[in-house]
Amino acid sequence: MAREFGASIAIDPTAVDVVADIKRLTEGRGADVAIEALGRQDTFEAALRSLRPGGTLSSLGVYSGKLVAPYEAVHAGLGDQRIVTTLCPGGKERMRRLLSMVQNDRIDLTPLITHHFFALEALPEAFDLFRRQADGAMKVAIHPAGVATSDSLMRETAGVER
């Protein structure tokens, strides 16, 4: 999916050690910036361990429990890394611009939607699937009004009306 959206390099965490691969790709230096958006302890730690000294970790994930930054992952306090946390930087204005891009067909986010549910009664199943990231779930769309056209699936999911 990352390649489909323009990434030149994609690393499969089920096939390789992500931290080691990033260090290899950066000739041992580490990443200048890492973004953690899943909200999981293991991806937070991997992102932190992937940073170069003086690097920045942008943590956008929503964590469901206690988040720990292991001491050794921050170069024993000598690495001068920065951890920035936020939810939707730019707030309403950024969201307005994103939705405008979707509405005006400047970006197609439908490939991110991996599962569709067509009844409100399916909410517990949909949230459980998304929470566990089971069955390749990336984004889950709920369409309580019934089957939608493929063109309206993204607009409905994004909350945009034409």
For domain 18-85, the CATH architecture is: 3-Layer(aba) Sandwich (3.40)
CA distance 39 to 43: 8
Per-residue pLDDT of the chain (162 residues; tens, 9 = 90+): 888 888 899 998 889 999 999 999 999 999 999 988 888 888 888 998 899 988 998 887 777 777 777 766 555 555 677 888 766 556 678 778 888 998 999 988 888 899 999 988 899 999 999 888 889 888 899 988 755 544 455 444 444 332
Asked if 32 contacts 50 with a C-beta cutoff of 8 angstroms, the reply is no
Give the model's pLDDT for residue 73: 57
CA distance 74 to 83: 10
CA distance 69 to 25: 24
- Show the CA angle centred on residue 146, arms to residues 141 and 150, nearest 5°: 60
CA distance 141 to 147: 11
Give the model's pLDDT for residue 30: 93
Give the model's pLDDT for residue 79: 63
DSSP 3-state of 131: helix
Q: What are the φ and ψ backbone dihedral angles of 9, each rounded to 5 degrees?
A: -135, 135
Give the model's pLDDT for residue 46: 92
Domain ranges for the chain, please list them.
18-85, 109-158
Give the model's pLDDT for residue 125: 94
Q: Tell me the whole-structure pTM to 2 decimals.
A: 0.64
DSSP state for residue 103 in the 8-state scheme: H
Asked if 142 contacts 126 with a C-beta cutoff of 8 angstroms, the reply is yes
